[in-house]
Chain A
Amino acid sequence: MARVRVRFAKRGRLRFLSHRDIARTFERGLRRARIPVAFSAGFSPHPRVSWVGAAPTGAASEAEYFEVALSAPMEPEQVRAELDAALPPGLDVLHCVAADSPPLPDRIDASRWRLRMPGAAIADLDVAVAELLGRESLTVERATKDGRRRVDVREAVVWAVCRAENDTCAILDVVVRHTTPAVRPDDVLTALSAVAVLSVPVPPEPTRLEQGRLREDGTLADPLVPDRDEAARLVGQLEA
């Protein structure tokens, strides 16, 4: 059965969609676009879509992924174009590739985030980042559905840098390893406020820029590249 891997973005006001909202909207988009989606067998069949992680409600993303099983073959580029046209602006389908092994989750172990922090002073943020990176470990608490969870932010943060977007807005770039439970942009902020005096008058706007496998130099490997390479190799064989 053909499987297609999809990278999509969650932008603008649609950053307030939860993962469930996104899943439902994509299911409807797939139907509207008449993509031949395979369904599970059983009492209540559901479309065979598997999700990889999900940016939290309120966070935008340029790099969300899922995989969908098709009941009939369809060109990945056609899936991309038609699915994108069937979705509301702000849920934008960026790439589709035919799936190849290994599974997608095995190719993703970290995320690069960018946090816009309107009203935050860059000097304070600088101090906070240096302080956090200087620690061995820094645990914060977060309220979840199942009570309070503790996560070690320092352990998950691979690197972090900040700069000023302009006089009134600071920008923080941070690469975070995927841990269980996951360390979210909010947790990083809680950690920064715990180690230094940092005033964040307005809720920051986080965007996930990349997901992938963490390389030694701290950059991330695009998880769809191996599938694309494989597709190119097959095309090469056919042409040869």
Chain B
Amino acid sequence: MSGQSLFPLLEPLLPRVRKPVQYVGGEGNAVVKPWGDAAVHWCLMYPDAYEVGLPNQGVQILYEILNEQPDVLAERTYSVWPDLEALMREHRIPQFTVDGHRPVGDFDLFGVSFSTELGYTNLLSALDLAGIPLRTADRAAPGDGLTWPVVIAGGHAAFNPEPIADFVDAVVLGDGEQAVLLITDITRAWKAAGAPGGRTELLHRLARRKLVYVPEFYDVSYRPDGRIAAVTRNRDDVPERPAKHTLTDLDSWPYPKTPLVPLAETVHERLSVEIFRGCTRGCRFCQAGMITRPVRERSITTVGEMVDAGLAASGFSEVGLLSLSSADHSEIGEIAKGLADRYEGTNTALSLPSTRVDAFNVTLANEFSRNGRRSGLTFAPEGGSERLRRVINKTVSAEDLVRTVSTAYANGWRQVKLYFMCGLPTETDQDVLEIADLAREVIRAGRRASGHRDIRCTVSIGGFVPKSHTPFQWAGQASHEVTDQRLKLLRDTVRADREVGRAVGFRYHDGRPGIIEGLLARGDRRVGRVIERVWRDGGRFDGWSEYFSFARWEAACEAELTGLGVSLDWFTTRERDEREILPWDHLDAGLDRDWLWADWQDALRATELDDCRWTPCYDCGVCPTMGTENQIGPTGRTLIPVIPVGRTDASAASAEPGPAGSSPVPSDLARVSASST
């Protein structure tokens, strides 16, 4: 196949669609290589709109690593909005990459990264537009060579890929950096040998080398009551339990080095630098924390170099230090101070965009806001009552939270945002109503600490969705009726409070999308038919409220699941017992199943668990299974100043000096983010 540019066909359509700039590519640091020079062609996709997908770090990292290989070509594609999709169908233009505007169907490997399950319908749109048969069963072709690209799923949602098992050829679990290179090596050698045996042989080679999970090499059988009877491999040389990949020594993998700089507006307009991967805080609801263990820090020196090189290569004016809980980096204080010193006077803002920042102290927060605005802090206690916070293992006392927030107000922050979840296991109306008490205490304390009345606090609430590979994987999800009713109760209680009601902003979403996310997160292969039916009925962009239709999902569940003896409720609100075979039990995230179950029992007893970085290992299973260990500092180094980008003279306005706040607040309080946006 040729890899010919489709742009001449696409260009006349672009004036007719919304935001055409998202389809033209041309980003800073994008790469377009000659098609014929490459031995292996990778197309990478983030299955959501360009504005969401472009900043995705996973795709950017793999794009750069692959393009660094002289004989590998990697390009990107994103979901096209329905306006362009209709025109593409009318004019017979297939799904294209934004780099070379090449047909996705021409590539050898098509890697799709899923951060959320709500991107599954967009996968089907892309496959269909690319001319790839939706179902893997229809992709079998006799003879040598590839007729269509091999479709490979990755990302956090791929830890339970069973609902999309009928649509993807292979799945990569865990960190992709080394995995994509090894997959490339095998593909290159196989192509050089004349691509013997076609698609199935390539998949077999990848699976045998333990690089990927190939769903079609495993058969699932069901019991009469609908539960899974067994998952068995149908080739004996593929692993019984395909395992996740774990990258160790993040300092050797400082990607992205040259971040993509979009021309169009995107959701994150900043340089993102990942300061560590993994989290052992042990929040029981958090899939990311469980599947990315253990903790692997980047050293302060590497972080400093990545920030410096990334700013020079991009021209961004904000740096976000990413991780699941950025204030937990063993040298976060030194990093914050070093970067704030280095970029003082350059109008470069620093932020800890994660809402999972522990160990808040005002010194740190002040460093982060030194070169930028001091607008808001986000604290995420997640659970409304202290009891519930013990259930989810995110222990914060109300007094500590109020004290921390007071300090923030006293130090000049204007807005505090509190983030909670609703529908957690064991939750009662009373637990949720305690959110109102907390908000009242926060406003009162803020008024006292700041000395004025115009203090605001936003309470933001999301519905809890149980995920695979967590202690809550057995839990029954709260129905959307229960969630919605509790939130209404809470809202009415806050509104009725004459003293503080008007100072509290209240944000929550309808509970129904959470039920569908729950279906897709814990579903098995039978859910694939539901996804396909929803897509055929026009379902697209399910993460966007203006496109999401609960009725369409409900109807599709009804039509596809009833005959199988299961249902939407069966997959979501039903609690599982210890012996039930879960759809993802044959996939190895390193976590010991008995440990997860014990932690689930601890949760029900509201018993907490410490962090294994600071207390002895409690045998979650990851380190021995994966041959890894926590890699943390401190290194004791500091950041040496470099000549920063675009430093202006002293007359240039820098941010207003903050009050000399240096009073450390009791740490380990709440998850906090000092955000300067």
Contact = CB atoms under 8 A, between A and B. Distances in A.
Interface string B309-329: 001111111000000000000
Given A39-B652, A42-B653, A24 B265 contact: yes
Interface stretch (B16-24, B149-157, B422-430, B516-524): B16-24
Contacts of A86: 315
Contacts of A45: 347, 652-655
B656 A43 contact: yes
B265 A28 contact: no
A50 interface: no
Given A20-B265, A37-B646, A71-B652, A58 B20 contact: yes
Given A24-B265, A90-B26, A44 B373 contact: yes
Contact of A31 (B21, B24, B26, B315): B315
A39 B653 CA distance: 6
Given A18-B21, A28-B28, A203-B16, 19 more contacts: A13-B7, A17-B263, A20-B265, A27-B315, A27-B317, A28-B315, A28-B317, A30-B315, A31-B316, A32-B313, A38-B652, A39-B347, A39-B653, A44-B373, A45-B654, A71-B649, A86-B315, A203-B12, A203-B15
Interface of A: 13-14, 16-18, 20-21, 24-25, 27-32, 34-45, 47, 57-58, 71-72, 86, 88-90, 118, 202-203
B15 A58 contact: yes
Contacts of B315: 27-32, 86
A163 B655 CA distance: 56
B422 to A, nearest CB: 34
B629 interface: no
Contacts of B654: 45
Closest 7 A/B residue pairs (Cβ) = A28-B315, A32-B315, A31-B315, A203-B15, A41-B653, A16-B20, A13-B24
B21 A88 contact: no
23 contacts: A13-B24, A16-B14, A17-B263, A17-B264, A21-B264, A24-B269, A27-B315, A28-B316, A31-B315, A32-B314, A36-B646, A37-B646, A39-B648, A43-B656, A44-B373, A45-B653, A45-B654, A45-B655, A47-B347, A71-B649, A88-B27, A89-B26, A203-B12
A44 B318 CA distance: 13
Interface in B1-40: 7, 11-12, 14-16, 20-21, 23-28
A35 B27 CA distance: 21
A16 B20 CA distance: 6
A71 B655 CA distance: 17
Contacts of B265: 20-21, 24
- Max chain A Cβ within 10 angstroms of own Cβ: one of B23, B269, B653: B653
A28 to B, nearest CB: 3
A22 to B, nearest CB: 8
A35 B316 CA distance: 14
Nearest to A201: B12
A72 B646 CA distance: 11
A192 to B, nearest CB: 17
Interface residues of B, number: 38
B24 A88 contact: no
A25 B263 contact: yes
A47 B28 CA distance: 20
Contacts of B373: 43-44
Interface of B: 7, 11-12, 14-16, 20-21, 23-28, 261, 263-265, 269, 311-317, 347, 373, 645-646, 648-649, 651-656
A47 B645 CA distance: 14
Nearest to A25: B263
A90 to B, nearest CB: 6
Contact of B263 (A42, A43, A88): A88
Nearest to A39: B652
A16 B646 contact: no
Given A18-B21, A43-B373, A203-B12, A31 B645 contact: yes
Contacts of B11: 13
Contacts of B7: 13
B289 to A, nearest CB: 34
Nearest to B313: A32
B646 A34 contact: yes
From A27, A32, A38, A118, residue with most partner B Cβ within 10 Å: A32
A34 B348 CA distance: 13
A28 B24 CA distance: 19
Nearest to B7: A13
Contacts of B652: 38-39, 45, 71
A9 B656 CA distance: 37
A90 B7 CA distance: 15
A141 to B, nearest CB: 19
A80 B28 CA distance: 18
Nearest to A46: B347
Contacts of A30: 315, 646
Contacts of A118: 12
A71 B652 CA distance: 7
A72 B265 CA distance: 30
Nearest to B373: A44
